C-alpha cells in the first residue's frame, strides 16, 4: 500500500493562497497610488491657480504697481492662470486614469490649449527679459517708449507666435471612427516636432540666455560704478554770506569726504578767518543715497531674472529633450517619463508668481495688504 503525499497537496494549497493574496493586494496598492497621485496633482493645480490669481489681484488693487513692467508680469500670471484652469485639471485626470475618456473634440481643444498656453507662458519670460534689457541698456530713450500700449503689443506678439505653433496639428488630424482612448500630439510629422520644440523652447531659451547675459554685464557695470563713487560727499549748494557777528559760527570750509568744520567754525579762532565774506556750504548725501538704492534695485532685479531663468530651464528642458528625441527612438525612454516631465513643466507656472512676490518689495507690501484686506472682509 502506497502512502499518500500530503506535502504536495499542502504546498499546492499554499501556493494558490499566496497567489490569491498577492492578487488581492495589487489592486489595493494600485488604487492607493492613484489616490495619492490625484491628491498631489490637485494640490499643485490649486496652488498654481491661487498664486497667479493673487498676483493679478495684487497688481489690480495697488496703484503703485500700475506700470508697463508690472503689466507684463500680470499678463504672465494670467497666462499661467489659464494653464492651471484649462490644462492642468484635465491633464491630472488623464495622468491618473492613464486612458482618455472625454472624446475626440475635447481632446483637440485640450491639446490646443496646452500647447498655446504653455508656449505663451514661456514667451512671456522672453518679453519680460526683453523689456528689462531695453530698460537697463537704453534707460533714457526707452523710458519714453515704455508705455502700456507697447507692453500690450509685446504680449499680443507672444500670443500670436504661441497660436501659430499650436495650429498645424489640426490640418492633418484624422477623425477616428473607433472610440478614442489616448490623446497625444502626433509625433509622426518630424518637421512639426522640430518646428514646435524650437519655436516654443530652444529659440526662446537662447534668446533668454543672451538677454540675461547682457543684463548681467550692464547691471554689474552700474554696481561697480556705484561702489567707486561711494566714498566722499557731494556739494549740493553754496552761497556767499557777508561778515556779521553770527556768520562765522554758521559757516564751514569746502572740504570733501568729511563733516568736520574748519577752524573758521570756531568763534574762538575767528581772527584767523577772512573778514570780507564766507561761503556757506550745504553737504548732502541725497544723490549718493538715491544711486545706492538704484544699484540695490538693479541687483535684486537681476537676481530675480536669474532665478526665473534657472527655474524655467530646470522645469522645461527635460520635457523638450524628451519630445525631440522620442520620435527618433521611442524605445529609449520609459513611457512614464512623459507624465513626469509634463508636470515638471506645469510646475513652472506655480514657481513664477512665487518668485516675483518673494523678490519684489513692492509686490510683497501690496500682497500683504491684499491678504489683510481679504482676512478682514472674510467671514
Confidence of residue 219 (pLDDT cuts 50, 70, 90): confident
Contact between 34 and 96 under an 8 Å Cβ cutoff? The reply is: yes
Asked if the model's pLDDT at residue 36 lies above 80, the reply is: yes
pLDDT above 70 as % of the chain: 66
pLDDT at 376: 65
Comparison of pLDDT for 41 and 187, the residue scoring more? 41
Category of 244 on φ-ψ map: left (φ > 0), alpha (ψ -120 to 50) or beta: beta
Nearest Cα residue to 117 out of 84, 74, 71, 151? 84
Higher pLDDT, 38 or 61: 38
Q: Tell me, what's the pLDDT at 363?
A: 74
- The residue that leads in pLDDT, 236 or 216, is 216
CATH of domain 31-228+290-376: 1.20.1070.10
> Are residues 362 and 65 in contact, defined by beta-carbon separation less than 8 angstroms?
yes
Section 88-100 average pLDDT: 93
Cβ–Cβ < 8 Å for 230, 257: no
Name the residue with cell 496598492. 29
CB-based contact 239:280 (threshold 8 Å): yes
The mean pLDDT of the chain is 77
Cell numbers found for residue 22: 498577492
The pLDDT confidence band at residue 251, using thresholds 50, 70 and 90, is very low
Instruction: Please list, residue by residue across 252-283, b when 16 or more beta carbons sit within 10 angstroms of its beta carbon and e when fewer do.
Output: beeeeeeeeeeebbeeeebeebeeeebeebeb
C-alpha gyration radius of the chain: 33
Contact 346, 83 (CB under 8 A): yes
Taking the CA of residue 125 as centre, how many other CA atoms within 13 Å lie in the half-sphere pointing to its CB?
Answer: 35
Instruction: Report which DSSP code applies to 83.
Output: I
Residue with cell 501659430: 164
Residue 141, pLDDT score: 86
DSSP state of 87: I
pLDDT (0 to 100) of residue 2: 40
- Predicted local distance difference test score (pLDDT) of residue 126: 93
> Position of cell 501690496?
366
Least confident among 45-49, 92-96, 296-300: 296-300
Q: What is the DSSP string of 156-207?
A: HHHHHHHHHHHSGGGGS----SSPP-------S-HHHHHHHHIIIIIHHHHH
Q: What is the DSSP letter of 328?
A: T
65 contacts: CB under 8 Å, gap ≥ 6: 58, 59, 362, 363, 366
For residue 177, the SS3 value is: coil
CA distance 114 to 91: 9
Helix (H, G, I), strand (E, B) or coil at 242: strand
pLDDT at 27: 55
Q: State the pLDDT confidence band at 53, using cuts at 50, 70 and 90.
A: very high
Torsion angle of the four alpha carbons 298, 301, 306, 311, in this order, in degrees rounded to the nearest 10: 170
Who contacts 43 (Cβ-Cβ below 8 Å, separation ≥6)?
none
Task: Report the predicted TM-score, pTM, of the whole model to 2 decimal places.
Answer: 0.74
Q: What is the pLDDT of residues 290-311, one digit of tens each?
A: 666 666 666 676 677 778 888 9
The pLDDT of residue 171: 75
pLDDT at 85 over 90: yes
Give me the mean pLDDT over the 259-283 stretch: 48
Q: Which of 274, 281, 239 is nearest to 258 (CA)?
A: 281
Which range among 255-259, 319-323, 327-331, 366-370 shows the weakest confidence by mean pLDDT?
Answer: 255-259
Number of CB atoms found within 10 A of residue 86's CB: 17
The cell numbers describing 227, all together, are 561702489
Tell me if 72 sits within 8 A of 149, measured CB to CB: no
Please report which confidence band the pLDDT of residue 341 belongs to, taking 50, 70 and 90 as the band edges. very high
Stronger pLDDT, 266 or 158, i.e. the higher one: 158
pLDDT of 227 reads 60
Q: For position 15, what pLDDT does the model report?
A: 47
Q: Cell 493562497 maps to which residue? A: 17
Say if strands 234-242 and 277-284 run parallel, antiparallel, or are unpaired.
Answer: antiparallel
Instruction: Read off the pLDDT band of 278 (50, 70, 90).
Output: low
> What does the longest C-alpha to C-alpha distance in the chain come to?
144
Amino acid at each position: 500500500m502506497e502512502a499518500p503525499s500530503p506535502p504536495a497537496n499542502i504546498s499546492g494549497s499554499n501556493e494558490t493562497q499566496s497567489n490569491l493574496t498577492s492578487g488581492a493586494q495589487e489592486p489595493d496598492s494600485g488604487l492607493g497610488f492613484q489616490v495619492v497621485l490625484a491628491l498631489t496633482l490637485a494640490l499643485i493645480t490649486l496652488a498654481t491657480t491661487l498664486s497667479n490669481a493673487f498676483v493679478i489681484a495684487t497688481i489690480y488693487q495697488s496703484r503703485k504697481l500700475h506700470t508697463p513692467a508690472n503689466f507684463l508680469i500680470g499678463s504672465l500670471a494670467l497666462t499661467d492662470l489659464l494653464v492651471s484652469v484649462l490644462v492642468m485639471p484635465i491633464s491630472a485626470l488623464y495622468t491618473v486614469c492613464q486612458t482618455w475618456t472625454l472624446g475626440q473634440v475635447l481632446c483637440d481643444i485640450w491639446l490646443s490649449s496646452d500647447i498655446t498656453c504653455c508656449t505663451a507662458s514661456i514667451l512671456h519670460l522672453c518679453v519680460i527679459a526683453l523689456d528689462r534689457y531695453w530698460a537697463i541698456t537704453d534707460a533714457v530713450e526707452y523710458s519714453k517708449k515704455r508705455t502700456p500700449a507697447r507692453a500690450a503689443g509685446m504680449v499680443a506678439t507672444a500670443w500670436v507666435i504661441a497660436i501659430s505653433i499650436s495650429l498645424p496639428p489640426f490640418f492633418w488630424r484624422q477623425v477616428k471612427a473607433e472610440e478614442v482612448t489616448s490623446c497625444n500630439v502626433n509625433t509622426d510629422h518630424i518637421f512639426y516636432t522640430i518646428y514646435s520644440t524650437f519655436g516654443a523652447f530652444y529659440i526662446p531659451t537662447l534668446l533668454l540666455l543672451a538677454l540675461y547675459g547682457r543684463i548681467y554685464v550692464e547691471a554689474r557695470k552700474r554696481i561697480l560704478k556705484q561702489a567707486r563713487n561711494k566714498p566722499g560727499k557731494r556739494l549740493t549748494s553754496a552761497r556767499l554770506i557777508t561778515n556779521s557777528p553770527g556768520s562765522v559760527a554758521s559757516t564751514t570750509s569746502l572740504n570733501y569726504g568729511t563733516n568736520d568744520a574748519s577752524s573758521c567754525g570756531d568763534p574762538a579762532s575767528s581772527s584767523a578767518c577772512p573778514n570780507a565774506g564766507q561761503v556757506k556750504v550745504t553737504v548732502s548725501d541725497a544723490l549718493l543715497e538715491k544711486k545706492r538704492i538704484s544699484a540695490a534695485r538693479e541687483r535684486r532685479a537681476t537676481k530675480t531674472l536669474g532665478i526665473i531663468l534657472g527655474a524655467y530651464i530646470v522645469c522645461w528642458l527635460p520635457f523638450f529633450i524628451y519630445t525631440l528625441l522620442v520620435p527618433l527612438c521611442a524605445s529609449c525612454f520609459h513611457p512614464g517619463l512623459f507624465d513626469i516631465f509634463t508636470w515638471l513643466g506645469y510646475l513652472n507656472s506655480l514657481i513664477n508668481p512665487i518668485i516675483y512676490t518673494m523678490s519684489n518689495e513692492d509686490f510683497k507690501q501690496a500682497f500683504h495688504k491684499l491678504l489683510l484686506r481679504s482676512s478682514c472682509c472674510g467671514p
